[in-house]
Amino acid sequence: MIKFGVICAMEEEIRTLLARQTQQKETVIASQHYFEGKIGDVDVILVQSGIGKVQAAMTAALLLATYKPDVVINTGSAGGIGHGLAIGDVVISSGVAYHDVDATAFGYLPGQLPQQPQIFEAGMSYVTQIQTAAAATGLTPKVGLIVSGDQFINGKEAIARILKTYPQALASEMEGAAVGQVAKEFHTPFVVIRAMSDVADEQSGVDFDKFVIKAGEQSAAMLLQFFAHLQASQHD
């Protein structure tokens, strides 16, 4: 049986998943609350990381070292920066990258950390399975690049700066690339799922406060559908 580790940044984002988890066992490690249990018949560890790359990396490392999940999924909300994305739309990562890293003075690509790839590739077999599960319920997530940085993006200048480096980027948030980097070091596949809480414009701060709960529920709903699909396929 495959074991999943699921990381959410905020309480609004993890709430729906915790409500569906059974046989729950809570363990506190470094102020992080890890919830081990099942969603349906699927083994799932849930944890709320807190906001930002350092929190996400710490949580991912502890999760992977302690529980050794087969897959890490980072779910929650993001700002839509790709063309045609609207509030409530969902993006699944084909890969993740940093938009706030600059080591170009040493010959690295924009966004590339030394000794790391510019883009951390997601576990595409799981991306495809999540897409398939979503399509079965009429959901149509987009698949593409999600970028991360310790910034809340709001405004055309910030979006233009990101798209200059990553013209293919669909969404911007504050954790996914850190999770992807840690998962790579542990040789563990990962997927990032993000529902759009805003479209990263000048109104994004207001929109985020208004829609973050709905966005968290939306990305959680897609993950729950994937778990249900996985459970059904195991029973076939």
| 25-34, 49-58, 132-141, 183-192: least confident range | 132-141
CB 89 within 8 A of CB 209: no
Q: What is the pLDDT of residues 211-234, one digit of tens each?
A: 677 777 777 888 888 999 888 776
Q: What is the CATH number of the domain that holds 25?
A: 3.40.50.1580
Burial of 70 (0-12, 13-18, 19+ CB in 10 A): middle
Domain that holds residue 198: 3-235
Number of C-alpha atoms within 13 angstroms, CB side, residue 125? 5
Average pLDDT, the chain: 90
Q: What is the pLDDT of residues 51-80, one digit of tens each?
A: 999 999 999 999 999 999 999 999 988 888
Burial of 38 (0-12, 13-18, 19+ CB in 10 A): middle
Percent helix, strand and coil across the chain, each to the nearest 5: 40, 30, 30
Please state the rounded mean pLDDT for residues 39-49.
96
pLDDT at 9: 83
H-helix or E-strand spanning residue 195: strand 190-198
Q: Structure pTM?
A: 0.92
pLDDT-derived band at 205 (thresholds 50, 70, 90) equals low
**What residues are annotated to the active site?**
13, 198
Torsions phi, psi of 35, nearest 5? -115, 110
Q: What is the pLDDT of residues 186-198, one digit of tens each?
A: 999 999 998 887 6
Count of the separate structural domains present in the chain: 1
pLDDT at 76: 85
Number of C-alpha atoms within 13 angstroms, CB side, residue 77? 31
User: Does 4 have pLDDT greater than 90?
Assistant: yes
